[in-house]
Amino acid sequence: MSDFYLLPLDELRRHKSEKWRAFPADVLPLPVAEMDFPVAEPIRRTLLEMVNNSDLGYLGSIPEMGEAFSTFATRRFGWTPDPAQIRIAADVGVGIVETLRVITKAGDKIMINSPVYPNFWTWATETRLEIVDVPLTFDEVEINGSPWILDWDGIESAYKSGIKVHLICNPHNPLGRVYTKAELERLVELATAHGVIIISDEIHAPLTFSEQRFTPFLSLGPAACAVGITVTAASKGWNIAGLKCAIIITQDATMHARLDAIAPATHYRASLLGAFATVAAFKEGEPWLDALMVQLDSNRRLVEELLATHLPLAKSHLPHCSYLSWIDFGGYEIGAEPHSHLVENAKVAFVPGARFGEKFANFVRLNFATSPAILEEAITRVARTLH
Ligand X SMILES: Cc1ncc(COP(=O)(O)O)c(C=O)c1O
In the bound state with ligand X, the residue whose beta carbon lies nearer, of 183 and 202, is 202
Which range touches ligand X (CB under 6 A), out of 73-81, 91-99, 206-214, 349-357?
Answer: 91-99
Tell me phi and psi for residue 105, to 5 degrees: -125, 160
Selected binder of ligand X within 203, 306, 311, 343 (CB under 6 A): 203
Q: Could you say which of 29, 31, 66, 93 contacts ligand X (CB under 6 A)?
A: 93
Does residue 323 touch ligand X according to CB under 6 A?
no
Give CA–CA dist 372/356, Å, rounded.
26
Kindly state the smallest distance separating residue 103's Cβ from ligand X, in Å: 18
Contact in structure between 249 and 255 (CB atoms under 8 Å)? no
Number of residues that bind ligand X (CB under 6 A): 14
* Cα–Cα distance measured from residue 132 to residue 151, given in angstroms and rounded to the nearest whole number: 13
Cβ neighbours for 339, distance < 8 A, ≥ 6 positions apart: 349, 350, 351, 352, 353, 364
* Contacting ligand X within 171-190 (CB under 6 A): 173
Task: Please tell me whether residue 367 adopts helix, strand or coil conformation.
Answer: strand
Provide Rg for the chain, Cα atoms.
20
Candidates 5, 117, 123, 179: give the one binding ligand X (CB under 6 A).
117
Instruction: Judge contact between 356 and 117, C-beta under 8 A.
Output: yes
Least distance from C-beta 350 to ligand X, angstroms? 14
CB-CB contact of 103 with 228 (8 Å): no
Which of 86, 129, 169, 207 touches ligand X by CB under 6 A? 169
Which lies closer to ligand X via its Cβ, residue 27 or residue 270? 270
Interface with ligand X, residue 328, by CB under 6 A: no
Nearer to ligand X, 168 or 346 (CB): 168
Q: In terms of CB distance, is 93 or 338 closer to ligand X?
A: 93
Task: Answer whether 218's CB lies under 8 Å from 225's CB.
Answer: yes
Is 92 a binding residue for ligand X by CB under 6 A? The answer is yes
- Give the residue from 128, 95, 133, 121 showing the smallest Cα distance to 263: 95
Residue closer to ligand X, measured from CB, 202 or 252: 202
Q: What is the DSSP letter of 110?
A: E
CB-wise, 85 or 173, nearer to ligand X? 173
- 233 touching ligand X, by CB under 6 A: yes
Tell whether residue 241 is a contact of ligand X (CB under 6 A): yes
Asked whether 269 and 67 are in contact (CB, 8 A), the reply is: no
CB of 146 to ligand X, least distance (A): 16
What DSSP state is assigned to residue 342?
I
Q: How far apart are CA 315 and CA 329, in angstroms?
A: 7
Nearer to ligand X, 123 or 332 (CB): 123
Helices (H), the chain: 9-12, 18-21, 41-52, 63-77, 92-103, 119-126, 152-160, 181-194, 222-227, 253-258, 265-268, 272-284, 286-310, 338-341, 372-386
Q: Does residue 201 belong to the site contacting ligand X (CB under 6 A)?
A: yes
- Nearer CB in complex with ligand X: 127/386: 127
Q: Does 246 bind ligand X (CB under 6 A)?
A: yes
Using rule CB under 6 A, residue 91 touches ligand X: yes
Tell me which of 70, 215, 219, 235 binds ligand X, using CB under 6 A: 235
Q: Identity (one letter) of the amino acid at 32?
A: V
String of contacts with ligand X for each residue 28-67, x by CB under 6 A? -----x----------------------------------
Stretch that binds ligand X, among 4-12, 14-22, 90-98, 257-265 (CB under 6 A): 90-98
Strand partners, 365: 326, 351
Quick one: which of 205, 293, 292 has its CA closest to 249? 205
Residue 362 corresponds to which amino acid? N
**Of 187 and 246, which CB lies nearer to ligand X in the complex structure?**
246
Residue closer to ligand X by CB (options 247, 306) is 247
> Which parts of this chain interact with ligand X (CB under 6 A)?
33, 91-93, 117, 169, 173, 201, 203, 233, 235-236, 241, 246
